[in-house]
Structure 1
């Protein structure tokens, strides 16, 4: 298994789409945090209502203290909400962002983004070329301040805008940014009215899928059938016996070895198959003491 992994917490519908080769590149204004890519922009008072066209560099690293010496509010300088929102509006029209996490098993991420443990976590090979240009989010105590002149002098590295409050630090987020012109525009709008853009993600970039503690049995079976003829691993999360965490019960190992693993928690996946595993699965369901306690719907 690849050692360097990035993870995406998703509901089952999104999991299906990604396994089908399509992943959304989301405009920053469509995120759940209204401060996304929205730094405080410091301007002279005579620039407060100025409309400026900016250019952005998707892959450039953060600059070293660009004009940091002149970002303090004082006589003759103000923070311009108009300019900040104008920048965000331009970004919404130009870029899409894929949000991933370094954390493979966060109980908060499971709850917030994986349909309250009914979805799954897709683990990607971070070394795959699809993930070129990774930007770790910078978690900061104070909202970043930028002088408007630092946006005029040269293309702005978008890495500089990938900063969030420390309250989001548990996400351990890494971002991939792409120009929307290089993505596919679908016919759909999201719940906030943003057009949905996607990129083609190759199957070989997916290492394993972990289904949630509460993923319904029918959807567990569906995902198993989707993956059984691939090289993608599959696990089923279960509340661990000790502490606040999950253990991962292996269903399919990633790679070429595809013989499934049967346990009381996963037996229902195999009970109706025409294979050696069906007999073992039926025995576990009928006789193992935990079989009546797992995969309950009520």
Structure 2
């Protein structure tokens, strides 16, 4: 089971069964935007992906649209894109350039292996006024194919004092590039799910405080196995959660958090059994 912490205003996740995969630039760790990437390999990887993407675009083009003029236009666009990559990688901070190129087309869903972390309840669940949902990490939602057709899975974050310099040629490129954080974050026990987002322009419901598109992805109700109401959750939140469960026919356990009387921990009383 993996867990997601929310403030009370995010009860819309339960109502609409939609969740956000956040762009790197929208995450709260400043080092997320400054990964150390070996420049030459990163540039070669991006150029090869551009070439492959343009080839796939041409293959998917309707036959009556495969004209000489359109081919010339495609080639010119590809050349300009590659030239742009070449120019950007003259800059010293390769990692930030890679992040900028991914933009809001690449999203991360940050989850935790624990529902009992006091700091996370305070930080991510509005000081106990919010809620946590428990998600079935074995559901197909968390094991979709990536852009290369490989089955993905939630990846655990590694906590370290040393920043790795990564190369796109590394077998564990994505783990090193996107799944390393400072030791100070270790209590979060984070696991990450990655997703390339399509049709950003038509799916965006607005911009966040970092100027990144807010794109919601459907969350299958079967992924929701449990809900934990905060130790300071009010009746409005509780009513909204139970209404969402009933309206969407979600089969899940519901618990109410409370502060332990004699230990520094959070305990849960069951309110509803699936």
> Counterpart of 2:265?
245
1:127 paired residue number: 138
1:220 to 238, 251, 255: 238
* Structure 1 residue 215 displacement after superposition: 0.9
1:82-97 equivalences under 5 Å are 82-97=93-108
User: How many residues were matched structurally?
Assistant: 219
Are the structure 2 counterparts of residues 138 and 232 from structure 1 closer, same or farther at C-alpha, using a change threshold of 3 Å?
same
Distance change (3 Å), C-alpha of 1:19 and 1:155: farther
Residues 108 and 194, structure 2, Cα contact 8 Å, conserved in 1: yes
SS at match of 2:101: helix
Structure of larger gyration radius: 1
TM-score (norm: length of structure 1): 0.67
Matching residue of 1:160? 176
Pair 112,81 (structure 1): closer, same or farther in 2 beyond 3 Å: farther
* CA–CA separation in structure 1 for the residues paired with 2:113 and 2:175: 17
Give 1:235's aligned residue: 255
SS at the partner of 2:241? helix
TM-aligned CA distance change 1:155 to 1:52, over 3 Å: farther
Distance 1:141-1:155 versus aligned 2 partners, 3 A rule:
closer
Equivalent in the alignment of 1:105: 116
* Deviation for aligned residue 1:156: 7.7
Whether 2:223 is the aligned partner of 1:205: answer: yes
2:71 aligned partner: none
- Residue 258 of structure 1 corresponds to none
8 Å CA contact retained: 1:28, 1:97: yes
SS at match of 1:189: coil
Instruction: Measure the CA separation in 2 of the matches of 1:177 and 1:115.
Output: 25
In 1, Cα distance between equivalents of 2:171 and 2:98 = 13
Give the aligned partner of residue 25 of structure 2.
29
Q: What per-residue deviation string (whole Å, max 9, x for no partner) do you get for residues 231-265 of structure 1?
A: 122111111112111221111112xxxxxxxxxxx
Equivalent residues in 2 for 1:1-298, closer than 5 Å: 5-36=1-32, 38-41=34-37, 52=43, 54-55=45-46, 81-132=92-143, 133-146=153-166, 150-151=167-168, 153=169, 157-161=173-177, 162-181=179-198, 185-228=203-246, 229-254=249-274
Q: Which has the higher strand share?
A: 1
Deviates more, 1:185-194 or 1:226-235: 226-235
Report which structure shows greater RCO (CA 8 Å, sep ≥6). Answer: 2
Question: Partner residue of 1:289?
Answer: none
Deviation (angstroms), 1:51: 9.3
TM-aligned CA deviation for residue 203 of structure 1: 0.4
Identify, as 1 or 2, the structure richer in helix. Answer: 2
Classify 1:23/1:193 alpha carbon distance in 2 versus 1 (closer, same or farther; 3 Å): same
Note if contact 1:139-1:165 (Cα within 8 Å) is conserved in structure 2: yes
| Structure 2 unaligned blocks of 5 or more | 50-90, 144-152
The equivalent residue for 2:146 is none
In structure 2, how many angstroms separate the alpha carbons of the residues matched to 1:51 and 1:129? Answer: 30
